[in-house]
Chains A and B, each alone.
Chain A
Amino acid sequence: MTLFGTGVLKGLIVTLKNFATSYFRKPDNGGIFTVQYPEERAKEIESFRNFPFLVYDGTPEKIRCVACGICERECPPKCIHIVMETEAGTGKPAKRPAVFEIDYGLCMNCGMCEDVCPFDSIYMDHAFEVTASDRTQELVRPKETLLKSNDYFLKIRPGTATPVDQKRRAAEEKKKTAQAAATPPKTNP
């Protein structure tokens, strides 16, 4: 038979121990596990996904997105809005988005757009400090704020970006050689 009151004392000892260990133990070993946020930051995990962003190569003009609208259609909460640009003279579709907006207030960070995009142009970002004071204006992000360079993409998610880059380079090489093959070689007279 255990003495009445031992359970209570055991509990007191546990909390006393934790009080003491909080001064010298490491966080993963029973020490203080809170992170002092603005000064310290939690370890950034590569696969972390927050809101989507658009990738461009080199300069913002060279945008990968061709405004095909697949992400717009597949987005479960329908937070993407795309309008394709038309060529100034001809009025033909220019395979470039004139408008590309994502409503961050609506987006649920599921990553569907990233999965379905056939042109490797939309990916999930790491940036999570996206507060806004207005729900309808500031949280609807236009193309300009969504665009981020490929270098940034390589920096935050090297594991995803490097194979994509290799694939794209290989495709470009292939295209070049195909072009080279297609143009008839100059025949020597």
Chain B
Amino acid sequence: MTSHDALSHPPVHIVGQLVDARLSLLDRQVVDVDGRPVGVLDDLELTDVASPLEPGTPPPEVTSLVHGPIVLERIFGGRRPDAHLLRIGWDAVAKLGPAIELAAPASELPTSWVESWLRDRVIVRIPGGRHVPR
């Protein structure tokens, strides 16, 4: 077997469920209560911790989901322009799965200004813009 199986599992009794962030959360779709896409999970915001860490410091907790037009920063590096970040508090999360389901409808969540600008300025002005294709 590969070497890392020589290591054993930590003898810690886990109350809850272990989840690898990059594997099972990051880059997954975030959808609202009706299943409508709100964005892709670009990052998770954590509580800050001192540096260096004194022994016994409690681990940071996830405070909010972060999504927005920052995927390019993640790829090409560089700071995130804070203004563009859309944050959704963790308490809005309803279920973790193939997509991250939220408990609130999209209308109550921070949405991208591009989407609303294009909708109001362009789409609604074209005849049939509000008509659901039959």
**Are A and B associated in one complex?**
no
Name A residues whose Cβ lies closer than 8 Å to a Cβ of B: none
